[in-house]
Amino acid sequence: MTDAEPSTTVVVVTWRGAAHITACLDALAAQSRPHRTLVVDNASDDGTAALLAAHPSKPAVLRLRRNTGYAGAMAAALDKVDTPLMAWLNDDAAPAPDWLATCEDTLAEAPLAAAVSARLTRADGTVQSTGVRLTADGHGADLPESADEVFGFCGGAAVLNVEALRSVGGVPASYFCYYEDTDTAWRLRLAGWDVVSADADVVHRHGASTRPGSVRFHLWNERNRLLTLLRCAPGQVAVRQLVKFALLTAVLPLRGLRRNKKAAAPNFRPSLRCRVLGAVAVRLPRTLVERRAIGRRAALGRGAVWDAWAGN
């Protein structure tokens, strides 16, 4: 590829990102590898639009009429991307100058890989994520240790093969926020693709746009985890985890857990858990249709992927 023909469109999703979007764009402008930048603005009302228009890098901007979350914005961006690769980047992330070059080169050296996850570090230098691991009960969890191959990529900073992404159904826009990366990586693996990690550094102000630990965080997290299992996991695993979630929801009040410290976490509040179950129930018919479509596209069995990665 020549300078006039970049390999990657870097997609930055922002919502009320005035406090940090400029630092993100400055870091992208300093990249050693040419690229296109597309900012998807989720109907920000805090002056973000003016900052985007004034930035010297002049990024392309797709302004949405409403806040569709990270997943919805990435899905909208995918329709606009016409480069072979697409980077996912949080607006509160600042990549090192060689971030994109390292990710592109890592993918080029791994022809069976459809995604590469960068190394996200917090402002204090501690590692937040080098990728996503799959826990024994089906959670997608950040992996802070270095590994050449990971189950999934962290959506905060990753580069994906666009053709592969489209071939597995794109981005689950209805997730709004959280687990869209784990779900996407899982579908790539079912289709026979690998996911790798790269020594490509990105400083991440984790939670600058959302509030980890909040009620909405837990609502989206728990709902989307169950939906991802229903879409991608072996049937018995998905049913077992859904039943386990429902049973725990039912017994929490009987155990009086609302009065202890554990119950202070929103995901242990019966009211929130009931909202999660209701949301999953409403989406169940569509999710089962999606599950069948994922199965038809799969090159590997659901059990094979689960056995290889769950708890490992």
Share of the chain above pLDDT 90, in %: 87
Count of C-beta atoms within a 10 Å radius of residue 234? 18
Give the separation between CA 178 and CA 224, rounded to whole angstroms.
Answer: 7
Alpha-carbon distances of 279 from 117, 145, 195, 263, 284, rounded to whole Å? 30, 34, 30, 21, 9
What is the reported pLDDT for 249?
94
Question: What counts of helices (H) and strands (E) characterise the chain?
Answer: 10, 11
Helix (H, G, I), strand (E, B) or coil at 61: strand
Tokens of 4: 């006039």
| Segment 17-46, tens digit of pLDDT | 999 999 999 999 999 999 999 999 999 999
Q: The tokens 């995918």 sit on which residue? A: 78
The predicted pLDDT at position 1 comes to 41
Say if residues 185 and 170 touch (Cβ distance below 8 Å). no
- The pLDDT confidence band at residue 252, using thresholds 50, 70 and 90, is confident
Statement: residue 212 has pLDDT above 90: no
Structure-token pair, residue 15: 């919502």
Q: pLDDT grade, residue 264 (50/70/90)?
A: low
- 260: pLDDT strictly greater than 70: no
pLDDT band at residue 2 using 50, 70 and 90 as cut-offs: very low
* SS3 of residue 219 by DSSP: helix
Count CB neighbours of 250 within 10 A: 13
When mean pLDDT is compared across 30-44, 141-155, 247-261, the lowest value belongs to 247-261
Mean pLDDT, range 290-310, rounded to an integer: 98
Looking at residue 32, what DSSP letter applies? S
DSSP class of 190: H
What are the CA-CA distances from residue 85 to residues 6, 12, 187 (Å)? 9, 14, 17
Contact 115, 159 (CB under 8 A): yes
pTM: 0.94
Report pLDDT for 242. 98
Q: Residues 138-159: what's their mean pLDDT?
A: 96
Is the separation of the CB atoms in 210 and 177 below 8 Å? yes
Residue 294 and residue 83: Cα distance in Å, rounded? 25
